[in-house]
């Protein structure tokens, strides 16, 4: 009898193992993860990491154990820490966006996204320009006219440094209005919250940031958004596009996640599966809607091809906005010619 019970037990265990072996591996089976955030609290990177983490936790797709804000150098410090100290970044996902390409082009560091493991791009976020609620500038053309007449009296802030995403957005809008980038008085802050605080304290006249980062202050009646970089009006948001105001600017900032270069391939695949499953949930759709983010899910080879094309298009934009395109072109060619081969 005892032998029969043992045989039945072994058979049951084998059956369970067979069933479990045929089930898809879920992201919930992954180790606990950490988010590395290259900017301060309240900025675009910080908002994205927490928004993703909230849904991962709520849906049971993963357990987020830490959010580390490693501030400095417009995102450089966190990127270089991930590259040069991979042993302390096991199970770490660094949130990043367009600046990882822009700052590499500028020569701020010799590394690039190729020195990490790209995991997934998850969203596309539009940019916006806003002023205090009591500002005399009622639309983007009034602001641009004030800058044209006396640029030194109309400082504009953004949550990142010179020739970064916010500065480039301002440059594209200004160029569409017939103003050169060099005429702008741009005052960089370390993160979106710091930039917004600078605006509300009266130190600057306008702010450039992501729509999602500006939305809470706009809904609270503290600021007025003058325009967004989308081609068409964003659903549920009573804000004009720059294009509808006669400035032909359409531009978006992708955001995604990168791991240390030493990350095992099986862990990369697990991360990709996690983000793919996340993107299909209703909870994530609701989170995107809250911040006015557009879906842009890319993993694997399509992700790498996208990043290479981003290098080409951003190089064109930065060259166009530079006072000395030839000088910038030589710098970028020295740093990145190998990337396009």
* pLDDT value of residue 169: 93
Mind listing the pLDDT tens digit for each residue in 97-124?
988 888 787 777 677 899 999 999 999 9
What does the pLDDT look like over 145-182, one tens digit per residue? 999 999 999 999 998 877 788 988 999 999 999 998 78
- CATH 3.40.190.150 domain extents, the chain: 27-125+252-340
CATH 3.40.190.10-classified regions of the chain:
135-245
Q: Quick check: 67 pLDDT over 80?
A: yes
pLDDT of residue 51 exceeding 60: yes
Q: From residue 81, give the alpha-carbon distance in Å to each of 86, 93, 95, 259, 302.
A: 8, 12, 13, 11, 26
Q: Which of 115, 109, 89 is nearest to 261 (CA)?
A: 115
Q: Give the pLDDT mean for 130-150.
A: 97
Q: What is the mean pLDDT of residues 319-332?
A: 51
What architecture is domain 27-125+252-340?
A: 3-Layer(aba) Sandwich (3.40)
Neighbours of 19 (CB within 10 A): 9
- Predicted TM-score (pTM) of this structure: 0.74
- In this prediction, residues 226-248 reach a mean pLDDT of 94
Task: Provide the pLDDT for residue 7.
Answer: 45
Sequence-distant contacts of 214-218: CB under 8 A, at least 24 apart: 214/128, 214/130, 215/291, 215/292, 217/130, 218/130
Nearest to 223 by CA among 126, 104, 135: 135
Nearest to 135 by CA among 152, 150, 151, 156: 156
**123 or 4, higher pLDDT:** 123
Comparing 71-80, 99-108, 322-331, which segment has the lowest mean pLDDT?
322-331
For domain 135-245, give the CATH number.
Answer: 3.40.190.10
């Amino acid at each position: 009898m005892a032998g029969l019970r043992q045989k039945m037990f072994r058979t049951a265990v084998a059956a369970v193992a067979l069933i479990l072996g045929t089930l898809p591996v879920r992201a919930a089976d992954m180790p606990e993860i950490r988010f590395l955030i290259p900017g301060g609290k309240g900025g675009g990177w910080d908002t994205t990491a927490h928004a993703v983490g909230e849904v991962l936790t709520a849906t049971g797709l993963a357990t987020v154990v830490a959010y580390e804000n490693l501030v400095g150098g417009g995102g450089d410090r966190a990127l270089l820490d991930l590259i040069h100290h991979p042993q302390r970044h096991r199970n770490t996902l660094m949130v990043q966006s367009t600046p990882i390409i822009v700052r590499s082009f500028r020569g701020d560091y010799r590394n690039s996204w190729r020195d990490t493991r790209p995991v997934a791009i998850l969203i596309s976020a539009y940019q916006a320009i806003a002023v205090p609620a009591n500002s005399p500038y009622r639309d983007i053309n009034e602001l641009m006219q004030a800058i044209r007449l006396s640029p030194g009296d109309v400082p504009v802030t953004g949550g990142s440094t010179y020739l970064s995403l916010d500065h480039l957005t301002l440059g594209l809008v200004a160029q569409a209005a017939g103003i050169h980038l060099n005429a702008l008085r741009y005052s960089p802050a370390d993160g979106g919250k710091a930039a917004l605080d600078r605006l509300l304290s009266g130190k600057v006249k306008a702010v450039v940031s992501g729509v999602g980062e500006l939305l809470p202050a706009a809904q609270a009646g503290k600021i007025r958004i003058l325009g967004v970089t989308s081609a068409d009006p964003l659903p549920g948001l009573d804000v004009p596009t720059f294009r509808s105001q006669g400035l032909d600017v359409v531009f978006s900032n992708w955001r995604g996640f990168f791991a240390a270069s030493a990350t095992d391939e099986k862990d990369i695949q697990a991360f990709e599966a996690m983000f793919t499953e996340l993107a299909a949930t209703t909870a994530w759709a609701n989170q995107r809607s809250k911040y006015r983010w557009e879906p842009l899910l890319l993993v694997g080879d399509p992700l790498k091809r996208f990043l290479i094309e981003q290098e080409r298009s951003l190089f064109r934009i930065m060259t166009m906005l530079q006072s000395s395109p030839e000088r910038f072109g030589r710098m970028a060619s020295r740093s990145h010619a190998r990337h396009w081969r």
